Amino acid sequence: MSFKQILGHKDTINILQNTLLKNRLAHAYLFQGPEGVGKLFSAINFAKAINCLNMGKDSVDCCDGCESCKKINSSSHIDINIIKPLKGKSGVSIEQIRQMQSQVSLRPYEARQKVFLIPDAELVNNQAQSALLKTLEEPAAGSIIILTTSSPESLLGTIISRCQVVKFYHLSPGVNSDILSRRFGIEADSARFLSHIASTGMVDISTHADIDVMNEKNRIIDAFMGFLDRPQKELFFLKSSSDEVLWCLSILLWWYRDMLILKETLSPDMIVNKDRLRDLELCASGYNSAHIGQIINSITGASQLIAETNVNIKLALTVMAADILREARYA
């Protein structure tokens, strides 16, 4: 894999290639952006390009075929270190950071630059972050440290200010769909649906890529419609984990969004639930756009509360369900 095979992130990769081209490598980088968009993957390719024996011959990219590239591909390059929490631990420990510190100042064995890569740097515990700061304050020629994170607010501000920040953004549904098809080999309809779910940024879709996505989402939609018909029954995902709840809410969000698109544009081309066009038309005929808009607001509000705060999930869902039932009744 090389830069040219990374889907999306064109501007971000351009920045990295420019630093390589001008030979202006920083001693520390923070790859910052949403989860699951390819920060670690890009960091490994950056490490490969930095050390590729053929870098710059044809392009500002790694060749994927030289000794250095092959060793990094097989995780056997002695100068490329990935620092992750040890088995059974939730965070990178201060001992691991101290060990890294002792190696940073040593010259590379065979690489141009040693690379120390810390994925999900928010998992470095507080004490270890202070040790890491010390390492960043004493940069050593011949070593580059790359941190990745989706929650920079969990890092010491002084760590961030010592790093060159490289920003990654959400991928467009089209790019996501491509990645899902290639990486997980899932069929086009499912990939397309998942990519839209991913674009909300609230669900880690990689955990849903191995199930029968289309059946699963239809089961959730049908169960919710069943609940609207018989609201005296308990909402079926009331007791699920927050990840599962967000997954269900994302599916419902796209369902109502599709209804709104059908009402406003009459264009089935733009809808996500193409396999349920008849049902969507039927449901949409019972609502006006303002009601659907309110329902979308309720689902979005509940999703944000659950994703971003410690709200009582059951309470947030009960309020949301009451809002939706009210709109359904007035519709």
Q: Which residues bind Zn ion (CB under 5 A)?
A: 52, 54, 62-63, 66, 69
**Judged by CB, which is closer to Zn ion: 67, or 137?**
67
Least distance CB 315 / Zn ion (angstroms): 55
C-alpha dihedral (27, 32, 35, 40), degrees to nearest 10: -20
* DSSP element (H, E) containing 324: helix 313-330
Least distance CB 127 / Zn ion (angstroms): 38
**Judged by CB, which is closer to Zn ion: 77, or 257?**
77
Least distance CB 84 / Zn ion (angstroms): 25
Nearest to 287 by CA among 245, 238, 225, 234: 225
**Judged by CB, which is closer to Zn ion: 66, or 319?**
66
Helices (H) and strands (E) in the chain, counts: 13, 5
Least distance CB 47 / Zn ion (angstroms): 11
Would you state the structure tokens that stand for residue 101, as one six-digit string? Answer: 């510190």
Least distance CB 72 / Zn ion (angstroms): 9
**Judged by CB, which is closer to Zn ion: 7, or 66?**
66
**Judged by CB, which is closer to Zn ion: 79, or 122?**
79
Q: E-assigned strands of the chain?
A: 28-32, 80-82, 114-118, 143-149, 164-167
Q: Cα separation of 24 and 20, whole Å?
A: 6
